Amino acid sequence: MHNISKLEDVVDRFREVEGLLSSPGVASDQEKYRALTKEHSDLSGVVEVYHAFCRVERDIAGHRELLQENDPELREMAKAELPALEEKRAELATELKLLLQPRDPNDEKNVILEIRAGTGGEEAALFAADLFRMYGRYADSKRWKVELISLSEADAGGLREVIAIISGERVYSRLKHESGTHRVQRVPETESQGRIHTSACTVAVLPEVDEVEANVDPGDLRVDVYRASGAGGQHVNKTESAVRITHLPTGLVVSCQDEKSQHKNRAKAMKVLQSRLYDRMLADQQALQAADRKSQVGSGDRSERIRTYNFPQGRCTDHRIGLTLYKLDAIMQGEIDDLIEPLLTHYQSEALSGQEG
Q: What is the 3-state secondary structure (H, E, C) of 281-302?
A: HHHHHHHHHCCCCHHHCCCCCC
DSSP secondary structure, 143-157, as one string: T-EEEEEEEEE-TTS
Residue 351's pLDDT is 73
Amino acid identity at 264: K
Cα–chain center distance at 97: 21
Is the pLDDT at 243 greater than 80, yes or no? yes
- 304 pLDDT tier (thresholds 50, 70, 90): low
Residue 176's pLDDT is 93
**Per residue in 250-301, pLDDT tens?**
888 888 887 788 888 888 888 888 888 888 887 776 666 554 433 333 333 4
CB-based burial, 82-117: b 16+ in 10 Å, e otherwise: beebeebbeebbebbbebbeeeeebeebbbbbbbbb
Is the pLDDT at 223 greater than 50, yes or no? yes
Which of 42-56, 89-103, 231-245, 246-260 bottoms out in mean pLDDT, i.e. has the lowest? Answer: 231-245
Cα–Cα dist 73/242, whole Å: 81
Residue 300's pLDDT is 35
Cα–Cα dist 209/110, whole Å: 8
Residue 83's pLDDT is 92
Residue 317's pLDDT is 97
pTM over 0.85: no
Query: Helices (DSSP H) in 22-101: which residue ranges?
Result: 24-27, 30-66, 72-100
